[in-house]
Chain A
Amino acid sequence: MPGSKSDLVIVDSDALIGLLNPADSNHSRYLEISEYLSKNSLETVVPYPIILEAATALSRNTKINRPDLALQLLDNYAKTEDKPKLDEEVALLTSQSFKKTTSRKNTPFDHYLLALAKKNGIRYIFSFDTFYKSRGLIPADNLLKK
């Protein structure tokens, strides 16, 4: 149904960083996906914890040391006016999704994002993390293959 939340594309932090980073091996693919979403008026949603996660990766590590980029991320997001409204009551779903035996590769942030997508009926994810695909979300990359 056009305009429903099932048409939304939820964005993970790897996409945010991959778009910023021309050295990333998937950078051109991230760009293609972003342009496709824009040209086809597919609405994206970037949950704020994901912004914080990406900003942390850019600013905290002393070898990367790019608080300037973290600030651009935070600043540009703060200026974003038209954010889709989501049901963010996902604490229980997140805790149910995250298990003691969960792979260390998939952090509570990943489980939070998955829970948020599930709670809101969002089908598409802008990420190359295969975790989401294994849990039933459709990578936005697939939209370009249709």
Chain B
Amino acid sequence: MPQVISATQAKNQFAEIVNRVIYQGEEFLVHKQGKPAILITKANVQTTKATKFTTTDFLAKLAGIKAKGLPPDLAKNHDKYAWE
């Protein structure tokens, strides 16, 4: 249940209100001219890092495949294997 405060109280005690919201999880309902106007509550926004699949990730993925049965010299002689 949010604690009701006036706009003047909110203005005068804003720093303390912010701390109580963040650290104690309290909520405040600011009334303006006797009517509820603004709710101050802790934001529950997850910061999501954009994940892009880069060419470096691509190399890591290849390293994870572990293809068995390939000739040991395939990397060195790939041209020969490709076209012989």
Which residues of A are in contact with B by a Cβ distance under 8 Å?
Answer: 11, 13-26, 30-31, 34-35, 37-38, 42-46, 53-54, 56-58, 60-61, 63-64, 66, 69, 72-73, 76-77, 79-84, 105, 107, 109, 126, 128
Contact A46 B71 (CB under 8 A): no
Q: Name the distance in Å between B2's Cβ and chain A's nearest Cβ.
A: 43
Find out whether the CB atom of B74 lies under 8 angstroms from the CB atom of A24: yes
How far is it, in angstroms, between the C-alpha of A46 and the C-alpha of B54 when the chains are bound? 10
CB-CB contacts below 8 Å: B61-82 with A: 61-63, 65-76, 78-79, 81-82
Chain A residues with CB under 8 Å of B16's CB are none
- Are B78 and A43 within 8 A (Cβ)? no
B residues engaging A (CB < 8 A)? 52-63, 65-76, 78-79, 81-84
Q: How many Å lie between the Cα of A69 and that of B74 in the bound state? A: 13
Are B74 and A34 in touch, CB under 8 angstroms?
no
**Which of A24, A54, A72 touches B72 (beta carbons < 8 Å)?**
A24
B78 adjacent to A53 (CB under 8 Å): yes
In the complex, A43→B55 CA distance in Å? 8
Determine whether the beta carbon of B59 is less than 8 Å from that of A11: yes
B83 and A23 contacting across the interface, CB-CB below 8 Å: no
Minimum distance in angstroms from B8 CB to a CB of chain A = 50
CA distance A146 to B57 in the complex (A): 23
Known: A34-B63, A80-B57, A81-B52. A22 touches B78 (CB 8 A): no
- State in angstroms the CA–CA spacing of A107 and B78 once bound together: 11
Give min CB distance, A64 to chain B, whole Å: 6
12 sample A-B contacts, Cβ–Cβ < 8 Å, listed by A number: A11-B59, A13-B75, A16-B59, A24-B75, A38-B60, A44-B59, A57-B81, A73-B62, A81-B53, A82-B53, A83-B55, A84-B55
